Structure 1
Amino acid sequence: LPFWNKGSHSPSNHVIVAFEAYRQLSQVSIRPMTAISSMANIHEDICATAKRKEAAVIILPFHKHQSLDGSLNNTRNDFRWVNKRVLMLSWNFC
């Protein structure tokens, strides 16, 4: 694929590559964005930016990982907190 960055193999880059492929094949607009914020108000920044950019989808890091036995374990309580706050705050933007 022409947009594949062979020098980087991080999971987040795989997601970006997948969306870039989808964009090229389906002619939709994909605008990946990364921002730095404090954990205390990151949920507000995420929702405000999504509203300003008129985003239809927000992808957040998931706070659980699947074990070999198939069970899901909480691994990042800070991500869980952010995800819950974004979901709660997003209702105000609907």
Structure 2
Amino acid sequence: MGVFGLINHLFNFLLPALALAVLLPLCIRWTAMGRGAALGLVSNMLVLTVVNATVLLAGLVWFERDGKMLTYLAMAVAGASAQWVLVKAWRA
């Protein structure tokens, strides 16, 4: 595998984490809960990217393969939980 193939594999591995990390903060800003966010939009996206990528990597290590639906479910739950903490939703 060449350099281009390696970059392509890494990009495709991280694409679900990046997509969720970009779309979740954008969608939550439309609700009343998102108006009191503690972090800015870009910082929120960076935190969610790290959380989601960590869950994907943990799923890869645990199941020894990529693309398991349980890993994607865990990523969605972890991303939503991190977003809940970042917007301080327990105060609402």
Q: What is the TM-score with the length of structure 2 in the denominator?
A: 0.33
> Over alpha carbons, which structure has the higher Rg?
1
Question: More strand per residue: 1 or 2?
Answer: 1
Greater relative CO (CA pairs within 8 A, separation 6+): 2
